[in-house]
Amino acid sequence: MHIHRFEKIWIGLSLFLIACFIGIVMYGFAVLDLKVPGIEESETVDPLTLHETEFAMPGTRQVGDNKYEVYMVARQFLFMPGTGQPLVLPEGAEVKFHVTSPDVLHGLHLAGTNVNVTVVPGQVSKFTTRFSEPGEYGMICHEYCGPAHHTMEGLIKVVPKSEFDSQYLVDASR
Amino acid sequence: MSDSASPASDPHASDEPVMEQEGIVENISLDDFNPTGTLAVAGMYFLLLLVLYVLLYFVEFAGRDVNIIG
């Protein structure tokens, strides 16, 4: 098949463009460390027996130097912790969230950020993030979960490291 | 797509030169036809796509702090 050389040029440009698109996403993934909530460490949990798991005491645990884990339960129509009392986290720390639901499908989105996960009953949604600046981040449910879905919201309050102490942690040594 | 009115006439078998239509000044081969303007427009379009994609990814997406990092 004969192809005109100009056509070869723009076929080449198209392939280059696709390579650039893929390359940029790979760069974000590998160098900027931008991830999506995945199923690399998929974990299931029985929604009926959450009280026998770590989710019995939702909240923040310190697991290392500047490393924390948050166990959160999203249920109709609140986030525990987060709704009512804000979830307080330290600035700059690596925080791993474990979120699950005992009832129906929920979503967890930190408004204005890239943190966005779906919370499925029976599964533990996990993601790690870091809040580089103190401030308040609104949490909303973005999956319709019932008649009061629109009221399901919470707050994450990020405080400077010096203001964060053990009062914001749950005692998991049961 | 074919406009041939009579089903009996095969357009490929026609010996009648197409060039006898009105308005055609010169008959050139495909390789002699160089649409540089089209190439320039296509190039600019590719460049625009690339620039906008970079802006979208690095400014609109990666620039929205608080990302999922693991």
Confidence (pLDDT) at A139 = 94
Judged by CB atoms closer than 8 Å, whether chains meet at B70 and A33 is answered as yes
CA-CA distance, A10 to A66, in Å (whole number)?
A: 51
A30 plus A51 within the same structural domain:
no
Banded model confidence at residue A158, pLDDT cuts 50, 70, 90: very high
A51 plus A11 within the same structural domain:
no
Query: Which amino acid is it at A65?
Result: D
CA-CA distance, A55 to A102, in Å (whole number)?
A: 10
A26 plus A54 within the same structural domain:
no
CA-CA distance, A165 to A114, in Å (whole number)?
A: 27
A10 plus A73 within the same structural domain:
no
* Two structure tokens written together for A123: 């599964």
A138 in a structural domain: yes
Rounded to an integer, what is the distance from CA A64 to the centroid of its chain? Answer: 19
Q: What's the pLDDT tens digit per position in B13-57?
A: 555 555 556 788 888 888 888 889 998 998 999 999 999 999 999
Q: Which residues contact A99 (CB under 8 A, 6 or more apart)?
A: A72, A73, A74, A108, A117, A119, A124, A125, A126
Confidence (pLDDT) at B3 = 47
The helix (run of H) or strand (run of E) holding residue A24 is helix A5-30
A173 in a structural domain: no
Q: What's the pLDDT tens digit per position in A69-116?
A: 999 999 999 999 989 889 999 999 999 999 999 999 999 999 989 899
A88 in a structural domain: yes
A20 plus A49 within the same structural domain:
no
From chain B residues 2-61, the ones with a CB under 8 A of any chain A CB are 30-31, 33-35, 38-39, 42-43, 46, 49-50, 53-54, 57-58, 61
A22: domain range? 1-34
A11 plus A65 within the same structural domain:
no
Banded model confidence at residue B12, pLDDT cuts 50, 70, 90: low
A83 plus A104 within the same structural domain:
yes
A7 plus A80 within the same structural domain:
no
A50 in a structural domain: yes
Does the predicted model carry a pTM greater than 0.80?
no
Domain tally for chain A? 2
Distance from CA of B5 to the nearest CA of A (A): 30
A127 in a structural domain: yes
In DSSP notation, B55-70 reads IIIIIIITTSSS-B--
Q: Which regions of A10-163 does DSSP assign to beta strands (E)?
A: 59-64, 67-75, 78-80, 87-90, 94-100, 106-110, 116-119, 125-130, 135-140, 153-159
CATH code where residue A115 lies: 2.60.40.420
A109 plus A163 within the same structural domain:
yes
Contact status, residue A43 vs residue A55, Cβ threshold 8 Å: no
A11 plus A84 within the same structural domain:
no
A174 in a structural domain: no
Give chain A's contact residues with B (Cβ, < 8 Å): 2, 4-6, 9-10, 13-14, 16-17, 20-21, 24-25, 28, 32-37, 94, 96, 110, 112-115, 117, 127-133, 137
Banded model confidence at residue A172, pLDDT cuts 50, 70, 90: low
A1 plus A59 within the same structural domain:
no
Distance from CA of B25 to the nearest CA of A (A): 22
Q: Which residues contact A144 (CB under 8 A, 6 or more apart)?
A: none
* Two structure tokens written together for B28: 């050139």
The dihedral sign for the CA sequence A81, A87, A92, A93: negative
A13 in a structural domain: yes
Distance from CA of B6 to the nearest CA of A (A): 30
A146 φ/ψ sector (left φ>0, alpha ψ -120 to 50, else beta):
left
A29 plus A50 within the same structural domain:
no
